[in-house]
Amino acid sequence: MQIFADTADVEAIREAHEWGFIDGVTTNPALVAETDRSYRDIVTDLDEFVQGPINAQVVATDEDGMVEQGRKYDTWSDNIAVKIPVTQEGIKAIDRLSDEGIKTNATCLFSPVQALVAAKNGASYVSTWWGTVNDSGHDGYELVRNTREILDQYGYDTEIIVASVRDTRHIVKSARIGADIITVPPWVFGMLWDNPLTNQSLDNILSEWGDRGDPTVDPS
């Protein structure tokens, strides 16, 4: 399973990158707006150290505008995936950009049938918004599970990104049902390893070890 950082905060991504397990980045215009930086500056910075996909989302809502913005994003980095919402116009833009060999990520996606049409039109990724689906009183787990089943049934190589992640339960369940990627916001990063039992166990072990010093140095 790949883990992406779900933020436009370059310093947060840089720090996460140093932990060694971040495989790519997802951004959207709302996240970029929080930074007071240009979308291009952020992507350019990320391109210097992110090895995997850098997802940038269009703001145009018409097919031609989406295609034009997608083509421009694609010139900013060799790793761009263009995020396009699954609307009638978006589906057409995904089809065109995919035909041009530009990676696309079908986003704002809340039903398996939206994932099916995005996959049919060649989307590289479908972003299933688990947390937002839960917020609306439906079941994010079922969205991801049904999408997995449908894509597998017909052999689409479109990868499933689980987005709108709120806690580690989403991550564990996503991994169990075979999501390809989970994209994690910075406020969830710490939850990936933080466990009070780990700290307590470590305290106990170090307390038992006491003042014996460095175990790699033979006692004199």
The answer to whether residue 26 forms part of the interface with ligand E4P (CB under 6 A) is yes
Q: Which residues pair with 12 in a beta bridge?
A: none
Given the residues 72, 83, 92, 120, select the one marked as catalytic: 83
Task: Choose one: 86-94, 116-124, 125-133, 188-196; the region binding ligand E4P (CB under 6 A).
Answer: 125-133
The answer to whether residue 124 forms part of the interface with ligand E4P (CB under 6 A) is no
The answer to whether residue 39 forms part of the interface with ligand E4P (CB under 6 A) is no
Smallest gap from Cβ 68 to ligand E4P, in A, equals 21
The answer to whether residue 129 forms part of the interface with ligand E4P (CB under 6 A) is yes
The answer to whether residue 163 forms part of the interface with ligand E4P (CB under 6 A) is yes
Q: Can you say whether the dihedral through the CA atoms of 4, 181, 112, 170 is positive or negative?
A: negative
The answer to whether residue 131 forms part of the interface with ligand E4P (CB under 6 A) is yes
Smallest gap from Cβ 132 to ligand E4P, in A, equals 5
**Two tokens at 117?**
């049409």
CA count, 13 A, side-chain hemisphere, 77: 25
Among 69, 114, 164, 174, binds ligand E4P (CB under 6 A): 164
Instruction: Report, in angstroms and rounded to the nearest whole number, the Rg of the chain calculated over CA atoms.
Output: 20
Among 7, 98, 104, 127, binds ligand E4P (CB under 6 A): 127
28, 57 Cβ separation under 8 angstroms: yes
The answer to whether residue 84 forms part of the interface with ligand E4P (CB under 6 A) is no
For residue 4, give the 3-state DSSP assignment. Answer: strand
For residue 166, give the 3-state DSSP assignment. Answer: coil
Reply yes or no on whether 83 is catalytic. Answer: yes
User: Considering CB under 6 A, how many residues would be counted as binding ligand E4P?
Assistant: 11
Residue in the structure block whose two tokens are 């190589």: 157
Smallest gap from Cβ 84 to ligand E4P, in A, equals 11
The 3-state DSSP composition of the chain as helix, strand, coil percent (nearest 5) reads 50, 20, 35
Smallest gap from Cβ 18 to ligand E4P, in A, equals 22
145, 158 Cβ separation under 8 angstroms: no
Q: What's phi and psi for 199, nearest 5 deg?
A: -65, -40
The answer to whether residue 98 forms part of the interface with ligand E4P (CB under 6 A) is no
Count Cβ atoms below 10 Å from residue 141 Cβ, excluding itself: 18
Q: Which residues bind ligand E4P (CB under 6 A)?
A: 6, 26, 28, 107, 127, 129, 131-132, 163-164, 183
Q: Which residues are catalytic?
A: 83
